[in-house]
Structure 1
Amino acid sequence: MSEQPKTANDHYDEVSLNLHKEELQVSKKWMETANVTVYKKSYTEEKQILVPVRREELIIEKKILNSEGETDKSIETIRIPLREDRIEVTLHPTLLEDVEIYKNQYEEIKQVIETLKEEKVHIETIGDVKLADNNQLL
């Protein structure tokens, strides 16, 4: 709503104008801009390797002889296991990476540009009117 300019011909005894000025007020609000979840995830991998194993056994061969002292075609073999390699698998965790996670705050300067309005009194005269102190009202 704008006020209409008042002239001397309007026959007002007193004129009152409210002058306004905009002032700049800057405030800040701390806002969450992201949500981060940090966790470890394990993956499995099946690995297949070939391992040579040794065995030691005692072999007993029994040959059946006939009456002439010759070896008959039947041979009896007995195998007794004495020792063998047994496979033992041991898993050793090794450090792959050392990951550090921390927060860091830093400050920067941002420029804010805003246009402010201010109202001032302007006096227009018609005719030969002399004001006592023109700077006092302006």
Structure 2
Amino acid sequence: MTEQQNSPLDHQDEVTLQLHKEELEINKKWVDTADVTIYKKKYTEEKQILVPVTREDLIIEKKVANPENPTDKKLETIRIPLSEDQIEVTLTPAILNDVEIYKNQYEELIQVHETLKEEIVHIETVGNVKLADEDPLTSV
């Protein structure tokens, strides 16, 4: 859309028009785009493991023989625990991962598109008007 400012020279000998031109000015402003909180979180996991346990018992077997019936024997057993494996669970921390956290700045080029406006003078004539250039070097 063009904006026209008509200025007829009917009543004045001289008219001054101010021509304007838009210029591109680029400004940058540092803006925080994110807020980051860094922390470690612990999770728990239940584990069940079957561990074989060895025991050592002293066994005393007492056999009473029946003299009347030699096949009928009474058996008495006494168990005395002597030693056994005891389970000892020890938790040792192991390094799972090393996580490095750091800031990095880099520069990239972003292309900006803008349309600039500029005013130029248009001269409309009515009738048979001859235009004369005042600079003789530019006349053809």
Distance 1:48 1:75, change over 3 A: same
1:46-74, Cα deviation, whole Å (9 max, x unpaired): 32222111111222334456799x8x844
Distance 1:84 1:18, change over 3 A: same
Please tell me the residue identity of whatever aligns with 1:27.
N
Please tell me the residue identity of whatever aligns with 1:34.
A
Distance 1:99 1:134, change over 3 A: farther
**In the alignment, which residue of structure 2 is the partner of 1:53?**
53
Is the contact made by 2:7 and 2:15 (CA closer than 8 Å) also made in structure 1?
no
Query: SS where residue 99 of structure 2 aligns?
Result: coil
Residue 111 in structure 1 maps to residue 116 in structure 2: no
- Of the structure 1 ranges 38-47 and 77-86, higher mean CA displacement relative to structure 2 is found in 38-47
Give matches, 1:52-131, under 5 Å: 52-64=52-64, 73-124=73-124, 127-128=129-130, 130=132
- Of the structure 1 ranges 20-29 and 37-46, higher mean CA displacement relative to structure 2 is found in 37-46
**In the alignment, which residue of structure 2 is the partner of 1:4?**
6
Normalised TM-score (structure 1): 0.70
Please state how far the C-alpha of 1:106 moved relative to its aligned partner. Answer: 0.5
Please state how far the C-alpha of 1:100 moved relative to its aligned partner. Answer: 1.2
Determine which structure has the larger helix proportion and give its number: 1
Query: SS where residue 56 of structure 2 aligns?
Result: strand
Distance 1:62 1:22, change over 3 A: same
1:32-51, Cα deviation, whole Å (9 max, x unpaired): 33344443333333322221
Normalised TM-score (structure 2): 0.69
Listed as ranges, the gaps of 5+ residues in structure 2 are none
Q: CA RMSD in A?
A: 3.3
Please state how far the C-alpha of 1:124 moved relative to its aligned partner. Answer: 4.8
Distance 1:75 1:129, change over 3 A: closer
Please tell me the residue identity of whatever aligns with 1:80.
I
Query: SS where residue 94 of structure 2 aligns?
Result: coil
Please state how far the C-alpha of 1:122 moved relative to its aligned partner. Answer: 4.1
Give me the identity figure in percent. Answer: 66
